[in-house]
């Protein structure tokens, strides 16, 4: 049976990670029916709270064969979480296995993995994105100014980066096949992600595009109202870094 590796980068998510793992395990039986054995890989980025302890509670509950904890010995930020996910997927995944990346703050629901899998199969694409800008999408609990900035960023990235099939460049909820992740590392090295801000999600997407990746999207509900604890995003600095990152990435050349 094929495996679905779900990587959940976390920093100080003790209030959210346990519930998110439970939600994923609730989908495991349906995933088995669809032909995928679920392996959840929460990544603790040297948290200063009880995030790792919560992960270990869930590993004890569900079994370490289902909950594979990865613990950074030093804080590496989201960039490090993405590179760790790529490294472990290539190391342990078989050719037909898939990788899902998702924020660890419980704002993304695992139920959308099913339409994402269906879309990947129907469209034969390399990456499916859970998008805030497709039919059926909804953003709940996000402050008005944050939504305005997100919408403006979407238009900016669409103009600058122009990736076919993509409307949502920054959402962290995505499904990838192994072939395109291998191509990413072959071209950009064992640590392909270099941006240190939340712009690293856009960097990953665009570098995959440069490697020849094809994309599609499904609409989903983004639930900021479910998130417990403070946001780690510093809006002004994140926007500044993201705008600059898009320009830097645009200078890279697509693989011929």
User: How does pLDDT run across 144-193, given as a tens digit for each residue?
Assistant: 656 767 777 788 888 999 999 999 998 999 999 999 999 999 999 999 99
d(CA 125, CA 176): 9
Domain with residues 2-250, CATH architecture:
Alpha-Beta Complex (3.90)
Q: Where are the domains of the chain?
A: 2-250
pTM for the full predicted model: 0.91
The pLDDT value given to residue 15: 95
> What is the distance between the alpha carbons of residues 153 and 230, in angstroms, rounded to a whole number?
22
Q: What angle in degrees, to the nearest 10, is found between the helix axes of 178-188 and 77-92?
A: 120
- Tell me how far the alpha carbon of residue 132 is from its chain's centroid: 14
Mean pLDDT of the chain: 90
CA distance 92 to 106: 25
Which residues in the chain land under pLDDT 70?
142-146, 148, 227, 229-241, 255-256
**C-alpha–C-alpha distance, residues 93 and 116, integer Å:** 19
The whole-number pLDDT of residue 78 equals 93
Residue 219: partners with Cβ closer than 8 Å, 6 or more residues away: 130, 131, 132, 133, 134, 135, 136, 137
């Amino acid at each position: 049976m094929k495996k679905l590796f779900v990587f959940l980068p976390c920093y100080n998510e003790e209030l959210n990670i346990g519930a998110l793992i439970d939600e994923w395990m609730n989908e495991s039986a349906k995933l088995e029916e669809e032909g995928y054995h679920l392996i959840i890989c929460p990544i603790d980025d040297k948290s200063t709270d009880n995030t790792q302890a919560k992960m270990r509670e869930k590993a004890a509950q569900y079994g370490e064969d289902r909950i594979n904890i990865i613990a950074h010995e030093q804080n590496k930020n989201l960039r490090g979480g993405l590179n760790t996910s790529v490294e472990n997927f290539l190391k342990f995944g078989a050719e037909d296995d898939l990788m899902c990346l998702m924020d660890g703050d419980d704002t993304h629901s695992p139920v959308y993995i099913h339409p994402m899998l269906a879309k990947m199969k129907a469209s034969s694409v390399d990456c499916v994105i859970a998008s805030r800008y497709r039919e059926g999408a909804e953003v709940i609990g996000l402050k008005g100014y944050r939504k305005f900035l997100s919408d403006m960023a979407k238009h900016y990235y669409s103009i600058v980066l122009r990736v076919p099939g993509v409307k949502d460049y920054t959402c962290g909820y995505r499904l990838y096949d192994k072939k395109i992740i291998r191509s990413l590392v072959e071209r950009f090295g064992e640590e392909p992600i270099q941006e240190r801000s939340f712009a690293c999600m856009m960097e990953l997407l665009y570098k995959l595009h440069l490697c020849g990746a094809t994309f599609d999207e499904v609409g989903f509900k983004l639930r900021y109202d479910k998130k417990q604890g403070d946001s780690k995003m510093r809006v002004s600095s994140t926007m500044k870094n993201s705008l600059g990152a898009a320009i830097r990435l645009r200078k890279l050349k697509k693989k011929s």
